[in-house]
Amino acid sequence: MIQSHVDLDQCCGYVATQLKVPVNRVHQTKYPATVTISRQTGTRGRNIGNMLRDAMNSEIEQGARTWAVYDEDLAKKILKEHDLPTEMEKFMPDDSVSEISSSINEILGRHPSQWTLFEHTVDTVVNLSRKGHAIIVGRAANKITKGMRNVLNVRFIGDLDARALRISSRRDITHKDAITYIKREDTARKNYMRQHFGADIEDSHGYDLVINTDNLSDESIVQILISAVKEKG
């Protein structure tokens, strides 16, 4: 029987293997600060992540590792680290794909299964988090890094209509089409989290900070994040 999702104990075991320390010591290992960003569609997550990167880089000492954002290019980095062709990127959406269908495709040699790609995702996210100074957007990174004390897990939320206004302006589409787009994207991200962790992406207990971006400027949010990051070391 093929499992439809990975429970948290399995994931912690896999993470511990990648860190090459016992599971009960994952929480005790100290690494430079990392930030994960989970976001509802239209909450300016990408822009805030880029601003945070620039702000943190303006404060680092000369010669230190610079901060980087891993958003749309995260899939490319995963494929590169695991010597997979770039064409595989189309099989790596933040969405739920039938594991049975995916496994059959792997057997037929069409592409790696979703579980295999997820393992590669976990590996890359953990490696980035160990190196630090990474801002990782999406991919259930808050669950993958759960228990790592150097990681600040953030969730951006906002009113649906306010988000639709931003999306309709950015993509030059109608308000109605923007709402349809938002619901499709948000559902895909919820499915990805549910498939791999059996968790609700909206559960506030999975984050250190949940920020409503409707009534705060990007600059104000970045300052909040900077203060939180500095506490993480």
Domain CATH code at residue 41: 3.40.50.300
Question: Is 219 part of any domain?
Answer: yes
Question: Is 3 part of any domain?
Answer: no
Question: Is 2 part of any domain?
Answer: no
Q: Hey, is 61 helix, strand or coil?
A: coil
Question: Is 190 part of any domain?
Answer: yes
Q: pLDDT tens digits for 118-170?
A: 777 788 888 889 988 999 998 899 999 998 999 999 999 999 999 999 999 99
CA 216 to chain centre: 22
Question: Is 119 part of any domain?
Answer: yes
pTM of the entire predicted model: 0.74
Average pLDDT score over residue span 7-31: 48
Question: Is 1 part of any domain?
Answer: no
Question: Is 77 part of any domain?
Answer: yes
**The CA-based dihedral angle spanning residues 71, 77, 79, 85, taken in that order and rounded to the nearest 10 degrees:** 100
Question: What is the domain count for the chain?
Answer: 1
Which long-range contacts link 87-92 to residues 24+ away (Cβ below 8 Å)?
A: 88/112, 88/117, 91/117, 92/117, 92/121
